[in-house]
Structure 1
Amino acid sequence: MTIEFGKVLSVRETPIPGLIVLELPVHGDARGWFKENWQREKMTAAGIDLPDFAPVQNNISFNDAVGTTRGIHAEPWDKYVSVATGRIFGAWVDLREGDSFGAVFTTELDPSTAIFVPRGVGNSYQTLEPDTAYTYLVNDHWSPEATYTFLNLADETAAIAWPIPLDEVEISAKDKNHPRLADVVPMPPKKILVTGASGQLGRALREEFGTHPWIEYASRAELDLTSPDLATARRWRDYGAIINAAAYTNVDVAETPEGRDAAWAANVTAVAALARIASAEGITLVHVSSDYVFDGRKDLPYAESDPLTPLGVYGQSKAAGEAIVSVVARHYIVRTSWLVGDGDNFVRTMARMATRGADPRVVDDQFGRLTFASEVAAGIRRLLETRAPYGIHNLTGGGEPASWYDVAREVFRLTGHDPDRVTAISTDEYAAGAPGPVAPRPRNSVLRMAELGAPWQQHLVEYLRALTV
């Protein structure tokens, strides 16, 4: 066996998304050779995107005869495969749902090469030298409950050019009987769990993501995030993302002793439990936060990097939740403001008052942009599908900021009522006339956005039209 010494650590892309070949530096002399088979720090520095692989098991396969051929198996975990001694021919076929289903890649592997095989990509190996051993790291423990996907080695569509014909090699009877590509049921993606599925954003997420076997929606009645049994409530290794749309949002009641307990339980304790699970299992955690993490005293729109300065209990609990989520390796904190969706909200209240002849008094010294739940749901999907950089992302409606008074007048006008029926008052006047506790609110709720979507007024027209229908 000839090994190429002195390679520079590098990576080769393949036609299969996520399947990459690594060229490994091997150092040798008359005594033999040495290599760093897996060195995360150096791989990350070289731009190899495997920093969160987090292997939990190391397996070794030994083949004493040339031509030993393993079937095309796609496992529900990622694998990092390298050769310890000898040489193999490898064939990989994408068996995941999606546009790349059926894509094929082949190459030879020796001790100076390795390959990263994503979950759902079928892999097969044919031994080219005697006494060959290859090793592979996996990021999940083997389980009899795991679901595999298989492909026949002789599939005509994949048309793999095996160096040694299949009728001349050792193959198990089971591998010979695997289905052709046309009969393969593609491996679905890892599951996505949406919490808070009965709320305004949860309903919008249902509409955005639809109904699939790999999407789960859970209300509090179906999954209590504060339960001590949460860690065993699901087989969490089967999940790729958790979208946490669950929250306590009664801002004023949060100022009462009972409300404080409820706000911290939902917005902090439950979030901490999800963060522990996401960190332990390598899950992407999407957490929805709020403009209330700021005090609103800034004159300019709030950027993702601005320090948190919450005023009331609700804002403090959301800020604490953000701090917890920020330590999860794979996280998106989605900050939004003035949410409007399918449920009780300011716009519905104003439309109802307009129709019933009530003349509201509305504050005119709090400014922001209406954000419709459908916009947030679509934005969350974009973050996940494009694998956007982890961190904080502001996501609100577009258009010029307005006050709640301006929004109320626009609702009256669009529903065919006189906007002058709305009276402007200050925040202090509103608080003085309220029958119960009133939480402090940010006067400036405008979040800075790199790209603004359609103006909130346009979405408001469509929302009110749907309400009327």
Structure 2
Amino acid sequence: MTGIEFSKPLAAHETPIPGVVLYDLPVHGDNRGWFKENWQREKMLTLGLPDFGPVQNNISFNEKAGTTRGIHGEPWDKYVSVATGRIFGAWVDLREGPSFGSVFTAELDASKAIFIPRGVGNAFQTLEDGTAYTYLVNDHWSADAQSQYTFLNLSDETVSIPWPIPLEKAELSDKDRAHPRLAEVSPMAPRKTLVLGADGQLGRALREAYDGDANVEFATRHEFDLSDAAAYSGRNWKNYSTIINAAAYTAVDKAETAEGRRTAWAINVSAVARLAQIAVEHRLTLVHVSSDYVFDGTAELHSEDEPFSPLGVYGQTKAAADAVVSVVPRHYIVRTSWVIGEGGNFVRTMANLAGKGVKPSVVNDQIGRLSFTTDIAAGIRHLLDSHAPFGVYNLTNDGEPQSWADVASSVYALTGHEGSDVTGVSSQEYFEGKEAAPRPANSVLNLAKLQKTGFEAPSSQSRLEGYLGQEVAAP
């Protein structure tokens, strides 16, 4: 084992290919031989290695120096090292994006390892006889997976890899000799994002937020029925990286009935538990939309870490779902309130009443901020695109908190009517004699945590003005 540097510190080195990281491994030797920790999860995570969840360990034994194995971009991550011998490794980015075609080369012996993300082409040439090349992968091989490989010719002139042993003198397979040049390679697309509930208010806003992005797939309630177990087993989840769950049962008052209670728990909790299990098993990011109803509204300002205190069935189901999603390693719980988007909502109802000359009584002791779906969708995309730390984030529009009566008065005024036509009444007065779920008196959410990630939603008043302007302009 001459040439190996013993007892050097564990260290990580970035490379020109995004996500490809070269590691120095401590090798401890004496007169008997040597020992190393080839992969140690806790130490590697501390160095920044993704917790990629290897499920298979493969070894390629190569009898002669000069054995060269082709540039294969595979649909999984791998962690490569050498058990004995030496290799010249070559890696080419074959993923869609600006780094496509980037190259990195290095010699590896027992004291080095390298992490290769999905879609980066991997090749090596042995520099010693009897070289054993080993790699951990985070998916099981299958014929379906192999059909997703991307290949590049070892002698491609564009990437121009400086093979130590000329390819005409090396041992190659006929398949590797026949692979295409870079100009003919179809880049490997990233894993997809799946948006559930794409026909709802938030789902429609997410369609606009991701308009033109071919890697985002939308499923309506008809296309992915959350109550049908077959929907969860009917997809190859290996092709996805993220699930955005924009579907929910939101009939707050109906949830208090026997039928509504069962449906609310089925959609808001049982279905979410299935999604959480899928996210854990396939290392997906799960984005889940929560609600101010997980609180009783007694706090002046609700922070993300406030203990749950739901008043009604709907709030109980949303709190239960939050608890379920919180155990998913890669999760964003987006907590919002008073949602306004395309379709039936409070603002449209008030605008219609104003147009008909109705002078309504509206609750004035429930306080909060409107959340326009355009901004909820933008906030979700920001969290994903910026790789913000996983966890819970409050996401509403900003500005001064208002009561429902204040919002209604603004709607009347902005549509050319008298704001004074709206009469404020207490919740007790408004709901007297009606079957209604209890509601939090204060729904104002603290937005500081989200703002620290670089996202600030506009004020609810400015959004309301724009929203009503569009409504008035619509035929």
| TM-score calculated relative to the size of structure 2 | 0.95
Q: CA deviation at 1:225?
A: 2.1
Q: Which of 462, 465, 468 lines up with 1:464 in the alignment?
A: 468
Query: What is the deviation of 1:78?
Result: 0.4
Q: For residue 370 of structure 1, what is the aligned residue in structure 2?
A: 370
Aligned mates of 1:166, 1:407 — CA distance in 2 = 73
Structure 1: which 4+ aligned runs deviate by more than 6 Å? none
CA distance in 2, matches of 1:180, 1:349: 60
Q: Find the counterpart in structure 2 of residue 98 from structure 1.
A: 97
C-alpha distance in structure 2 between counterparts of 1:143 and 1:407, whole Å:
57
Q: Report the equivalent of 1:261.
A: 262
Q: CA deviation at 1:230?
A: 4.1
Structure 2: how far apart are the matches of 1:274 and 1:195? 11
Deviation at 1:213, TM superposition (A): 4.3
Following TM superposition, by how much is the alpha carbon of 1:74 offset from its aligned partner in structure 2, in angstroms? Answer: 0.6
For residues 317-342 of structure 1, give each alpha carbon's deviation from its aligned partner in whole angstroms, at most 9, with x where no partner exists.
00000000011111111111111111
Could you tell me which residue of structure 2 aligns to residue 5 of structure 1? 6
Match of 1:453 in 2: 457
- Given that 1:87 and 1:109 are in contact with CA atoms closer than 8 Å, whether structure 2 keeps it comes out as yes
Distance 1:96 1:464 in 2: 43
Asked if the contact 1:230–1:273 (Cα under 8 Å) also holds between the matched residues in 2, the reply is: no
Partner residue in 1 for 2:108: 109
Q: Aligned runs of 1:3-402 on 2, under 5 Å?
A: 3-44=4-45, 46-50=46-50, 52-146=51-145, 147-299=148-300, 301-402=301-402
Q: Residue 229 of structure 1: SS of its match in structure 2?
A: helix
Q: Structure 2 counterpart of 1:110, which letter?
A: D
Q: CA deviation at 1:117?
A: 0.4
- Listed one character per residue, the Cα deviations across residues 88-114 of structure 1 (whole Å, up to 9, x for unaligned) are 111111111122222111111111111
Q: Deviations over 1:100-134 (max 9, x none)?
A: 22211111111111111001111111111111111
Amino acid corresponding to residue 448 of structure 1 in structure 2: N
User: Secondary structure, in 3 states, of the residue corresponding to 1:153?
Assistant: coil
Higher alpha-carbon deviation: 62-71 or 213-222: 213-222
Judge which range, 212-221 or 112-121, deviates more.
212-221
Q: Distance in 2 between matches of 1:235 and 1:5?
A: 44
* Separation of aligned partners in 2, 1:467 and 1:37: 62
Q: Deviations over 1:383-427 (max 9, x none)?
A: 112211111111111111111111111111111111111111111
Could you say what secondary structure the match of 2:101 adopts?
Answer: coil
Q: Distance in 2 between matches of 1:18 and 1:27?
A: 28
Mark the runs of 5 or more structure 1 residues left unpaired by the alignment.
Answer: none
Letter in 2 for 1:457: Q
Which secondary structure state, in structure 1, belongs to the residue aligned with residue 123 of structure 2? strand
SS at match of 1:161: coil
Task: Write the deviation string for residues 234-266 of structure 1: whole angstroms up to 9, x where unpaired.
Answer: 111221011111100010111111111111011
- Per mean C-alpha deviation after superposition, the further-off stretch among 318-327 and 5-14 is 5-14
The structure 2 residue matched to 1:438, chosen from 436, 439, 444, is 436
Q: CA deviation at 1:211?
A: 4.6
SS in 1 for 2:420: helix
Deviation, 1:200, is 0.4
Letter in 2 for 1:302: H
SS of the aligned residue for 1:159 comes to coil
Residue type matched to 1:73 in 2?
Answer: H
Is contact 1:225-1:274 (8 Å) kept?
no
2: CA distance between counterparts of 1:134 and 1:84? 6
Q: CA deviation at 1:212?
A: 4.4
TM-score normalised by length of structure 1: 0.96
Once the 2 structures are TM-superposed, how far is the Cα of residue 227 of structure 1 from its aligned partner?
2.2
- Answer whether contact 1:226 1:273 (CA < 8 A) is retained: no
**Alignment-mate amino acid for residue 40 of structure 2:** Q
Q: Check the 8 A contact 1:264/1:317 in 2, yes or no.
A: yes
SS of match in other structure, 2:289:
strand
- C-alpha separation in 2, matches of 1:433 and 1:419: 27
Q: How many residues align?
A: 464
CA contact (8 A) 1:294 1:315 kept: yes
CA distance in 2, matches of 1:18, 1:410: 50
Q: Report what 2:427 is aligned to.
A: 427
Which range moves more in the overlay, 116-125 or 95-104? 95-104
**Counterpart Cα distance in 2 of 1:177 and 1:342:** 53
Q: Deviations over 1:263-321 (max 9, x none)?
A: 1011000001111111111111111100111100012x111111111110000000000
Q: Partner of 1:145: helix, strand, or coil?
A: helix
The percentage of aligned residue pairs carrying the same residue is: 63
